[in-house]
Amino acid sequence: MTKLTLIGKSEDGSVEVYRLGDNIYRVGRGWVPDINGIPMGMRWECSVEHWKKFKRLLTWIKEVENE
């Protein structure tokens, strides 16, 4: 299974942004994992390639340190 990695959060922490494979997803704070540990209600945002190109425009998302 592909690793779910937290890559960003909104300033107030109400939105989290994750990378899963070659895609970027967002989900609200307090999410509940499904049987595979993936957040239920996760919304697809874009590809990783698109994210890298346009992330600078999303000033409300702050990058987090990857473990």
Q: 10 lies in which domain range?
A: 4-63
DSSP state for residue 36 in the 8-state scheme? T
Smallest Cα–Cα separation from 25: which of 35, 13, 15, 33? 15
What's the pLDDT score for residue 37?
84
What global pTM score does this model have?
A: 0.85
* pLDDT higher than 60, residue 7: yes
* pLDDT tens-digit map of 9-67: 999 989 999 999 999 999 998 899 999 888 999 999 999 999 999 988 888 898 886 53
Under DSSP, the state recorded for 48 is H
Total number of domains in the chain:
1
Are the C-beta atoms of residues 53 and 46 closer than 8 Å to each other?
A: no
**Amino acid at site 65:** E
> What is the reported pLDDT for 18?
94
